[in-house]
């Protein structure tokens, strides 16, 4: 009798648990979305982290991006290391780096460093905090993918604890082709690192 009960009980409770979990996730996700939409900026402040999301179809993206940019941003591709973009990046001075897909500020020259890896490297995003990170197992092991918070475009990966002599010991390894450099005056270091 007991065995029968257990056999019957298990799938039922599992189902119940899964349904409850789904409802909680949906409710949480819904709330988060709602919150985001609630705080939409009314002005033209590009640097706000709570910003309208940009969504386009692949066809629409192809109209505004180069083939390489589309491959990186929308298909999570990677440019070859030590390419044209990297050479350009190495020569650039003070300024900010925006997303080529949606023009949102992502990084500044204040946290740029020479990691010699062949891709543009930063040790922290800009104060605008417009990058999101996600776990990525595409190569069979865990990496942390970096995406633009506004258009959800793939930017690159972030690696931690590699021993670089920087305040965060993080390397945001970003594809140069999807960074739009905006030259400007000296950009202060991110506020979170001011004590450095």
Q: Which residues are catalytic?
A: 173
Site membership for Zn ion, residue 102 (CB under 5 A): yes
Residue 190's closest CA among 148, 130, 133? Answer: 130
Question: Between 99 and 173, whose beta carbon lies closer to Zn ion?
Answer: 99
Site membership for Zn ion, residue 148 (CB under 5 A): yes
Question: Between 101 and 190, whose beta carbon lies closer to Zn ion?
Answer: 101
Site for Zn ion, residues 44 to 83, rule: CB under 5 A: none
Site membership for Zn ion, residue 156 (CB under 5 A): no
| Pairing, β 105-108 against β 143-148 | unpaired
Question: Between 45 and 194, whose beta carbon lies closer to Zn ion?
Answer: 45
CA end-to-end distance (rounded Å), the chain: 68
Q: 97 has which bridge partners?
A: 107, 181
Site membership for Zn ion, residue 106 (CB under 5 A): no
Question: Between 102 and 128, whose beta carbon lies closer to Zn ion?
Answer: 102
| CB contact at 8 A, 123 and 171 | yes
User: Out of 99, 158, 173, 174, which residue is the one contacting Zn ion (CB under 5 A)?
Assistant: 99
What span, in angstroms and rounded, lies between the C-alpha atoms of 119 and 85?
Answer: 8
What span, in angstroms and rounded, lies between the C-alpha atoms of 42 and 50?
Answer: 11
Q: Could you tell me the smallest distance in angstroms from the CB atom of residue 102 to Zn ion?
A: 4
Site membership for Zn ion, residue 125 (CB under 5 A): no
Using the rule CB under 5 A, give the single segment among 43-51, 88-96, 102-110, 117-125 that binds Zn ion.
102-110
Element of type H or E holding 160: strand 154-160
| CB contact at 8 A, 84 and 170 | no
Encoded tokens for 137: 């197992």
Site membership for Zn ion, residue 158 (CB under 5 A): no
What span, in angstroms and rounded, lies between the C-alpha atoms of 124 and 111?
Answer: 6
User: Out of 101, 156, 176, 190, which residue is the one contacting Zn ion (CB under 5 A)?
Assistant: 101
Site membership for Zn ion, residue 190 (CB under 5 A): no
Using the rule CB under 5 A, give the single segment among 76-84, 94-102, 113-121, 166-174 that binds Zn ion.
94-102
DSSP H stretches of helix in the chain: 2-38, 58-64, 67-75, 84-91
Interface residues toward Zn ion, by CB under 5 A: 99, 101-102, 148, 150-151, 153
């Amino acid at each position: 009798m007991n065995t029968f009960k257990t056999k019957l009980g298990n799938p039922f409770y599992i189902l119940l648990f899964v349904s409850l979990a789904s409802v909680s996730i949906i409710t949480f996700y819904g709330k988060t979305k709602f919150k985001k939409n609630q705080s939409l900026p009314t002005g033209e402040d590009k640097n706000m982290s709570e910003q309208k999301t940009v969504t386009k179809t692949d066809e629409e993206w192809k109209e505004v991006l180069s083939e390489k940019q589309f491959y990186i941003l929308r298909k999570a591709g990677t440019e070859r290391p030590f390419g044209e973009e990297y050479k350009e990046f190495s020569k650039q001075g003070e300024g900010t780096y925006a997303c080529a897909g949606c023009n949102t500020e992502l990084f500044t020259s204040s946290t740029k460093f020479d990691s010699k890896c062949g891709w543009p490297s930063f040790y922290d995003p800009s104060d605008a905090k417009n990058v999101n990170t996600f776990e990525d197992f595409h190569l069979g092991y865990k990496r942390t993918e970096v995406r633009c918070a506004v258009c959800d475009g793939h930017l690159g990966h972030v690696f931690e604890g590699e021993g670089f002599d920087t305040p965060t010991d993080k390397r945001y390894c970003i594809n140069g082709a999807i960074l739009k450099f905006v030259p400007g005056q000296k950009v202060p270091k991110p506020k979170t690192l001011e004590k450095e």
